Amino acid sequence: MEMIKGIKGHGYYDELVVPIIENTAYENELTDSLAKAIDAYPKATAVLVRNHGIYVWGDSWINAKTQAECYHYLFDAAIKLHQLGLDWSTPNHGPTRNFKLGLGSNGNVNTSAKAVTEGSDYGSGLFPRCIVLDIEGTTTPISFVSEVLFPYARDNVGKHLSVTYDTAETQDDIKLLRSQVEDDLKQGVAGAVPIPPGDAGKEEVIAALVANVDAMIKADRKITALKQLQGHIWRTGFESNELEGEVFDDVPEALEKWHSLGTKVYIYSSGSRLAQRLIFGNSNYGDLRKYLSGFFDTAVGNKRETPSYVEITNSLGVDKPSEILFVTDVYQEATAAKAAGLEVVISIRPGNGPLPENHGFKTINSFAEI
């Protein structure tokens, strides 16, 4: 955009219009279409001839040559950005936040470039190579998790365990819960109750499991044993259409845009990967999984611990962690990700908890701001 200043009659924030005309077999045959372009756009100081070159005029030969170099730079930059898969129509650099270069058709005359200024709370430099999104309070209302998903799991855990008790999947869930409860009992965790051995009656075992799961849900514990079982219970709910995932209205459009730009988008949530796929695969906007490149859960580590984000960085194969943008509503998660070198913004959504004063992070109210 700096090069617009080198073109006569234009400043940094001004609109730049370049007529584009079709080429002809002989140069002298361009006269009529050139005249038409100049008449249609009297402020233009150049005309681009498709598949040929650009005609520039100025007060002197030197002036025209300087302007030609500016036009060449602008067009060359747009082409290179396009080849790199970057969004050359809406970069987020400097005071000029939105640059639109379009080659349309209007008879023999096309309009091309225009620069406009728009405000933005986030964005400088290149667009992130990867975006990692939290779910609760970021893509999805906290109320959906606390008032829909958690109650469904709590109300159906007994039924689910009873119906699927002898399956390998549920036996694996029970094994994980046993291990977790044993640790909880050793550490004196409130709400933990002993689970009878496997040779005890089925109903006794299930009753103890229900009591432990209920306590874990009430404490909102972010542990794999609970999240894995919840995912299996929610799967039943989604398959029977008792549950439907919920995302904020700006999420689908943003996911589609990032996908079209070649930016890889991942989910990192304390909920199991199965639960994540269920929410985005059965959302109020349909199946959004086609826009997502992968899912991370607590198997990579606690979301409030820096090594978790180091592990994610290594998994994504980026050259440096700053190529990843992490979006969350939780200050402690933001701090951990920043310590790992990731770029971080905090999501401000209805129902989210308060942030510390002077937290130092950029904030967004909508994905459209990214």
As given in the structure block, the two tokens for residue 313 are: 């960085």
Annotated catalytic residue: which of 2, 15, 27, 203? 2
Residue 104 φ/ψ region, left for φ over 0, alpha for ψ in the -120 to 50 degree band, beta for the rest: beta
**Residue 233 near residue 157, CB atoms below 8 Å:** yes
- Counting every residue written for the chain, the total comes to 370
Tell me which amino acid residue 16 is. L
| Tally of CB atoms within 10 A around 186 | 9
Tell me which amino acid residue 362 is. K
Known active-site residue 2: yes
Residues 6+ apart with CB under 8 A from 79: none
Residue in the structure block whose two tokens are 């002298």 = 28
- Long-range contacts, 281-287 (Cβ 8 Å, 24+): 281/238, 281/245, 282/238, 282/243, 282/244, 282/245, 283/244, 283/245, 283/246, 283/247, 283/252, 284/244, 284/245, 284/246, 284/247, 285/247, 285/251, 285/252
Distance of alpha carbon 197 from the chain centroid:
45
As given in the structure block, the two tokens for residue 317 are: 């194969």
- DSSP E strand stretches across the chain: 20-21, 46-49, 53-56, 98-101, 113-116, 130-133, 264-268, 294-296, 324-328, 343-347, 362-364
Nearest of 133, 120, 24, 8 to residue 69 by alpha carbon: 8
**Residue 48 near residue 19, CB atoms below 8 Å:** yes
CA distance 200 to 352: 44
Residues annotated catalytic, as ranges: 2
